[in-house]
Amino acid sequence: MLRTHTCGELRTSHIGQSVTLCGWVDTYRDFGGLVFIDLRDRYGMTQVVFNPSLAEMHAVARSLRNEDVIRVTGEVVARPADMQNLKLSTGEIDLKGRQLEVLNKSKTPPFFPTQAELPNEELRLKYRFVDLRRPAVQQAMILRHNLSKATRDYFDENGFLEIETPMLGRSTPEGARDYLVPSRVHEGCFYALPQSPQIYKQILMVAGYDRYFQLAKCFRDEDLRADRQPEFTQIDVEMAFVQQDDILGTIDGLMARLVKKLRGTELKLPLPRLTHREVMERFGSDKPDLRFGLELTDLGEIASVCDFGVFKSTIESGGRVRGIRVPGAAEKYSRKQIDDLTEFVKQYGARGLAFFRVKDGELDSPIAKFFSPDHQKAIIAKLDARPGDLIFCVADSFKVSSAALNALRLRLGKELNLFDPQELKIAWVVDFPMFQWNDEEKRWDAEHHPFCQPVEEDIPFLDSDPGKVRAQSYDLVCNGYEAASGSVRIHDSTVQQKIFNLLGITNDEAEARFGFLLEALRYGAPPHAGVALGLDRWVMLFLASDNIRDVIAFPKTQKAGDMLTGAPAEVDPKQLRDLHIKVDVPR
RNA sequence: GGGGUCGUAGCUCAAUUGGUUAGAGUACCGGACUGUCGAUCCGGUGGUUGCGGGUUCGAGCCCCGUCGACCUCGCCA
C-alpha cells in the first residue's frame, strides 16, 4: 500500500503518529512561507501543511495544482484551537508534511470536483472521470452499492438463488424495440439484448428453481426521459408455488429492509394495496404520488344539469368532468399563470381548463354565469371547498381528464411545496385491467403482457366482456414513479390459448414467437409469479433525485449516446464484411 | 415522429432589446505574502458569440437551416 490512512480518517487520536496519505490536490493556499494543501480522496479531505524549513519539499509543494495526485508522509499534529475547521471531519488536525511525492500531474480540468457551481451536464458527462470525484456523485454510487448489497442479503437470507440469464437472446417483436447484435457465425442472424429476463425466469420456475432473483441488466431501444435509460438494472424476482400475496409480502419485506438500511427508519407493513380503479379515480394515474392531497373529485352529477355547454356535452357523450381543489390558492395564481396552466394541460390532450375562485358561498370565474347559485353551492359542497380555494376542472374522456388532471396535480404539488422531497410514500396498485381496447386497430391489447393470469372470478368474462377482466398484476408505486411491476403468470395452456385468441394471436404466431416458452410450460410448469423492481429508480428515490443519470456511473444522453467514449460509433468496414452487413443510411 | 428551453472566455453568467473595441466573477499564468481553509493583494493571458446561410448601413441579439444538451407528448406489452 502506498498509504497508511485515507483522507477522511485522521482524528485527534492520531496526533503524534507518522502517516502517509495519497490523494488529489483539492485546493492549494500558498503564503510564500507556509503552503496548505487540502488533500482529497473519496473518504474525505485532510489539510496538509508544508513548512519552508524543508526547502526542497516546499518548492515542490508550491508547484502543486488542482487535481495533481500526490503522496505525503508526515506527522499528525493538533491544530491551534482557533484554527480548527469544524466543516471538516478531519478539521482538528493537520498533516505536517515531511516527504512529498508527486505521483502524477493533472491537466487543468474544465471544472473542479468541489466547486460550488455545477457545470452543465454535457460537460460533466464528457469529463465523467472528474465528475465522479464530486462528493455528491460518490454518495450516489455508495448508496447504490448499499442498496444492491442489502437486496442480495435479503434474498439470500430468504432462500433465493441469484441466477444469471443471457445477454445474447432471441428477439421477440413484442413491446419495446430490441437492441440487436449481429451473429458472425450465423450469417444474417441477430441476437437481441434482453428487455428483461422474463422468459428465462419463467423457464427457471419450470426447472424447479422456485426462488430466483437477479440484479439484471436490461436494454430497451426507445426514446429516453429524465427517469429512463437505454440500459438499466432490474431487481428481477420470480417464485413458484405462490400466489399474488406471497410476492407482495416478499417485496414488502425487501422495502422494509432497504428503508431500514438506507434511511435507518422503520417502514410500516404491509404496504397499502390500492386498486387500479381507485387510484385512477382519485389521482388520474396508475402511479400516483401519494405524498400530498389535491385528489380528483367527480363533478358529473352537477355537470350534467348545469348550463355550461362544454360540461354538459362531455357528460352526454360519455366523458367525465372532474376537478381538483387547491386550498387557499385563489390569490396565488394570476390569470396569466392560469393561462399557462391551461396550455400545460393541453399537452395532455385537454381542450381547456376551467377554474373557479371560491368566495363565500359562490364561485368567481369567467364561466360562473353558466352555473346557478344552487349549482355553485353544489360544486362547493362536493369539493368541500372553502373561501380562498381555487378549483380546476377538466371535461373530457376518462383517459384525457385523468392524464391532464394528474399532470396538473403533480405540477401544483411541486409548485406549492405540498410535500417533503425526502419522503418515500410506497404503495401497491393491484387489479390492473387485463386488456385495453385498441380503437385504431379495433382489437384488444394486453395491458401488461399476454402471460398474466386473470383474476379467477373474472375468467368467465374472457368470452363475454374482456374489458371487465382484471389481471393478477401489480405495480409498486413510489412518489409518482412506477418502481416495480409484476404478475402471476399463466401456467395453464388452455387459459393461455384463450388469451392469445382474444389478442388476435394465432396458434402459429404464438408458436413462432414464444414457442420455446409455451413448450417449456407443457413440461410440468408450477404455478408461479414474479416482479421486477427498477433498481436505478429506487436509487433515485432514496436520493430524492429526479434525474436517473445521477445514479449511474456512466449514463447515456437523451439520444442514447455516451459523451465520454463517443459510443455509438461507426465501425471498421472489415467488421461489417465479417458480419455481411451493408449500411444504408438515408441522405 | 411532434412541442418546448438552451448554446457567448476553460467554467458560471452579463451585454441597456439591432449600434463604437463583447464585459464580470472564477479558473489559468506571473509576482508579493509563515495559519489559511471560498485565503488576500498586484499584474497578465484568454472570444470565428455551436456551425452554415439570409435580412440589414450595421447581427451575440431578427429569420431559415443544421449540430448538440436538456424537458416533454407519442413510444416504453
The string of pLDDT tens digits covering residues A181-207 is 999 999 999 999 999 999 999 999 999
Written as nine digits, the cell of A499 is 388469451
DSSP letters of A81-128? GGG--TTSTTTTEEEEEEEEEEEE--PPPSS-TT-SSPPPHHHHHHTH
Which residue is closest to B69 in terms of CA–C1' distance?
A122
Residue A507 pLDDT: 85
Nearest residue (CA) to C1' of B32: A32
Residues 6+ apart with CB under 8 A from A480: A285, A287, A288, A289, A410
CB atoms within 10 A of CB A160: 20
Query: What's the pTM value of the predicted model, to 2 decimals?
Result: 0.94
The Cα A521–Cα A203 span in angstroms is 8
Give the residue carrying C-alpha cell 414457442: A515
Model ipTM value: 0.93
Whole-number Å distance between alpha carbons of A77 and A2: 21
Q: Residue A349, CA: closest nucleotide via C1'?
A: B73
Measuring CA to CA, which residue among A147, A103, A138 is closest to residue A8? Answer: A138
Q: Which of residues 199-258 of A touch strand B (CB under 7 A)?
A: 220, 222-228
HSE (side-chain half, CA atoms, 13 Å) at A227: 15
- Report the alpha-carbon distance of residue A258 to residue A265 in Å, rounded: 9
- The span from the CA of A436 to the CA of A201, in Å, is 26
For A347 and B56, how far is CA from C1' in angstroms? 38
Tell me, what DSSP letter sits at residue A8? T
Q: Could you give the 3-state DSSP secondary structure of residue A154?
A: helix
A149 touches strand B (CB under 7 A): no
b/e sequence A18-30, b meaning 16+ C-beta within 10 Å: ebbbbbbbbebee
Cβ contacts of residue A13 below 8 Å, gap of 6+?
A: none
- Hits for CB < 7 Å against strand B across A residues 400-459: 403, 407, 445-450
Question: How far: A564 CA to B68 C1' (Å)?
Answer: 14
* A47 CB contact with strand B at below 7 Å: yes
Strand B proximity: list residues 348-367 of A with CB under 7 Å: 348
- Which stretches of chain A score pLDDT less than 50? none
Pairing outcome for strands A320-326 and A296-298 = antiparallel
CA distances (Å), origin A357, targets A91, A365, A367, A386, A411: 56, 6, 11, 10, 19
Q: B3 C1' – A64 CA distance, angstroms?
A: 50
Distance CA A232, CA A369 (A): 53
Q: Which of residues 56-85 of A touch strand B (CB under 7 A)?
A: 65-66, 79-80, 83-85
Residue A341 CB contacts under 8 Å (≥ 6 apart), including other chains: A333, A353, A392, A408, A411
* C-alpha dihedral sign at A229, A230, A234, A236: positive
A174 touches strand B (CB under 7 A): yes
Q: Which nucleotide is nearest to A118 (CA to C1')?
A: B12
**How much is the pLDDT for A587?**
57
Q: Which of A527, A472, A521 is nearest to A497 (CA)?
A: A521
Q: Would you say the C-beta of A394 is within 7 Å of strand B?
A: no
What is the reported pLDDT for A253? 98
A31 touches strand B (CB under 7 A): yes
| pLDDT score at A146 | 98
Cell digits of residue A178: 430490441
Distance (Å) from CA A18 to C1' B73? 62
Q: Is the dihedral of CA A254, A255, A259, A260 positive or negative?
A: negative
Cα(A568)–Cα(A573) distance, rounded to whole angstroms?
A: 15
With vertex at residue A176, the alpha carbon angle to CA A175 and CA A177, rounded to the nearest 5 degrees, is 125
